[in-house]
Amino acid sequence: MNYETASLRAKRSNPGYYRTRFNNSILERLRLRSQRRNFIEFRNSKYHKGFTLLEMVIYIAILTLIAVVVVNTVLSLAVSFNSLRATRDINNAAMVSLERMGRDIRGATGIDTGGSSFGSHPGTLLLIGAIETEFYLDDGVIKVREDDVEAGALTREAATTTNLVFYHISASPYSGIRIEMTLESTRGTITKTKSFSSFVALRSSY
């Protein structure tokens, strides 16, 4: 029996020998596990930083695309809304002015051809009746005058009258007025133009 064998047997006969080896083994495993975990975390953090940059680029691209779509949608809605408002302004102005002129023409007993201006823009129409009524254009607004007293405007600034022409149509025993008018309205960047035409006969000529 040599010295090393005797020393090994002496260590093994010591009650704390196996406990020490067991503890050392556990500590070694923990150390290796900790090193492995640190390595994995380092590797993941390295890749994670690159992935975050890629994510940022993708997010920016997606947000830019969404912003472009939203802006285009808002602009499209604004254009559509302004177009509808301009069309509404024109139709309302035409309805009010043509209805009023038509009612007064039908109720008139005659037409003052000398005080009226036919066939050219801006036209003037002077009706004879219980009340002398005159329709004329003033700075793009159709106005009415009753017995030489201003009675107000038939159209508003929202719709400008760019053309107003009256025609006296007379075929005995009938007499009437043909009205041609063009209205224009601007809302935002949208400008709408529409022409209207109407013929009204004097009731007294039936």
Instruction: Tell me the pLDDT tens digit for each residue of 107-164.
Output: 999 999 999 999 999 999 999 988 999 999 999 999 999 998 999 999 988 899 999 9
One-letter amino acid at 89 equals D
The SS3 call for residue 191 is strand
pLDDT beyond 50 at 2: no
* Strand segments (E) across the chain: 110-111, 125-128, 133-138, 141-146, 149-153, 160-171, 174-187, 190-201
pTM above 0.75, yes or no: no
Instruction: Give helix 3-13 / helix 17-107 axis angle, nearest 10°.
Output: 60
Residue 106 pLDDT level (bands cut at 50, 70, 90):
very high
